[in-house]
Amino acid sequence: DQQVKQNSPSLSVQEGRISILNCDYTNSMFDYFLWYKKYPAEGPTFLISISSIKDKNEDGRFTVFLNKSAKHLSLHIVPSQPGDSAVYFCAASSFHNRKLIWGLGTSLAVNP
Amino acid sequence: NAGVTQTPKFRILKIGQSMTLQCAQDMNHNYMYWYRQDPGMGLKLIYYSVGAGITDKGEVPNGYNVSRSTTEDFPLRLELAAPSQTSVYFCASEGAGGYGYTFGSGTRLTVV
């Protein structure tokens, strides 16, 4: 039972355009959501997070939107750059259980 | 600033052999985690620790053991290696103050 779902295994966009990566969750107890980025042969690195008390968090080119009623979050990258090509993981946790629950990842390719 | 250090980076084991994957962090983080990532799959939690002397099972603990005698170190032990344990193993740590894991660069293990 996948509590955090990233339904698109891969995404390809042109450099300079917007990349939108989606994530759905089923557990209404989740109150903290994170995005990690992973390059081949490296560990995941933290990218951006959002608490359930917010619906948007922005950090430079990266913005995460949270729709609690739909149990959906998305990561927007604007403008996309070739260096953004990586696998992006969505993860969620709850206040009472710090262990992160991970999606399967979306592989983003940004083409020059 | 080393962060989380994993050794070795690569290892080939024969079926039935044993080995220890090392993980050390220098950030004085209380929480530490061991994950495995199989091809095309997300991160599966093997074991975790909330502090020195305290460990607990994750989603996929069978075939593994851990110990946490110090805050810094969290080794993962494979006693009787099986082909099903062929995977990439990631260690992560997290401070008590908030979410956001710091990952090591991973150990790629092949059991033949």
Residue A99 distance to chain B (closest CA, Å): 9
Contact list in B for residue A42 (CB cut-off 8 A) is 105-106
Task: Say how far apart CA A50 and CA A33 lie, in whole Å.
Answer: 5
State whether A44 and B104 contact (CB < 8 Å): no
Whether residue B51 has pLDDT greater than 70: yes
pLDDT in tens, A62-82: 999 999 999 999 999 999 999
Mean of per-residue pLDDT scores for chain B: 93
The predicted structure's pLDDT at residue B1: 62
Are A104 and A23 contacting, i.e. CB atoms less than 8 angstroms apart?
no
The predicted structure's pLDDT at residue B3: 92
The predicted structure's pLDDT at residue B42: 84
Angle among Cα A20, A100, A60 to the nearest 5 degrees reads 35
